[in-house]
Amino acid sequence: MVYSTIMSDLVSDTARTETLWASVDPLGEALHFLHMSGVIYTRSELTAPWACAMPALPDCLMFHVVTSGHCWLEVEGIEPRRLQPGDFALVPHGEGHSILSARGVPAANLFDLPREQVSERYEILRYGKGGAATSLICGAVRFDHPAAHHLVRLLPKLIYVESWRSPQMEWIQSTLRLMATEARELRPGGETIITRLADILVIQAIRSWMAEDPSAQTGWLGALHDKQIGRAILLIQRNPARAWTVALLADEIAMSRSAFAARFKELVGESPMQYITRWRMNMAVTWLKEENVPVTELAERVGYQSEAAFSRAFKRFIGVSPGSVRRNAKV
């Protein structure tokens, strides 16, 4: 009787665990980490002819939303795009580019143009020669979480969403209208609302790329699609302090050690232990920049038994000491 009860409980626990994991979406969890920290937002009121050159902003994603009129977007190495109202363009790698009223118009450096500073992170640009009008909302934003950095590195040079072709056209248009209204009226809290709406639009653009581009089905993103390897990645990311081994991870996802190690490296491009180390160190960099906690505590958070062992591993992987990262973050 006792044996039967124990076995019944074990079966129930296993079933509950399987049901829980079946509901987990590794790709969705990766997108969950895409919380933007705004660098600057600009409402641009432009009259033809005009052209603005956007300087490169390393570690930033830059986006442009046309709210009225039209313009051209030029990114080196990519066919120029004509943007119309409702179109959304994302330049994910902070690469310098230009937006123009027409092809061939000489571009002025954005930072050389007079702008009205509304707040620390919000400004209005009025520029042009009095011709046809175009309005845009532009932003330069950052993602701070290591999972977000990993995903952003895989994105193409340009993601372009034509909202009138999108299956989600109605809500995208509603979002764009609300963003345009907030930018125009500048009511209390408007900057926060624009940031949240930009979050949604950027994530939607990335989702569209992931659904349509074959390259999004390979590498780390492809590994997240894999039922077992995707689960292993989530286990590592959710609990970096655990004393992970290849054998333990393989056991957690019901694979043999050798099969798991081979499949993980095939899909992710590095061994499980290399991925664990990189994830731990990237998390440590984030915490060093954002939190004022002792290095000893950070070492424990990422699975090291002593500050000395963590510091040695950190410097070997990142190239500088934990203290150096923290000091530079305060500059």
Asked whether residue 296 carries a pLDDT value surpassing 70, the answer given is: yes
The pLDDT assigned to 217 comes to: 73
Domain 31-215 fold: Jelly Rolls (2.60.120)
Predicted pLDDT at 229: 93
- Give the model's pLDDT for residue 240: 92
Residue, of 65 and 38, whose pLDDT is higher: 65
Cβ neighbours, 10 Å, residue 281: 21
Contact between 89 and 81 under an 8 Å Cβ cutoff? The reply is yes
CATH class of 220-329: mainly alpha
CA distance 292 to 298: 10
Domain edges within the chain? 31-215, 220-329
Distance CA 272, CA 270 (A): 7
Percent of the chain with pLDDT over 90: 43
Can you tell me the mean pLDDT for 122-142?
90
Strand partners, 111: none
Q: How far is Cα 323 from Cα 61, in angstroms, rounded to an integer?
A: 28
**The tokens of 11 are what?**
């079966």
Average pLDDT of 164-177?
A: 72
The H-or-E segment that residue 182 falls in is helix 169-185
Please tell me the predicted confidence (pLDDT) of residue 261: 96
Across 21-45, average pLDDT: 66
Rounded to two decimals, the pTM is 0.71
230-270 pLDDT, tens per residue?
999 989 988 999 999 999 999 999 999 999 999 999 998 89
Mean pLDDT of 128-141: 91
Does the pLDDT at position 65 exceed 90?
A: no
What is the pLDDT at residue 7?
A: 38
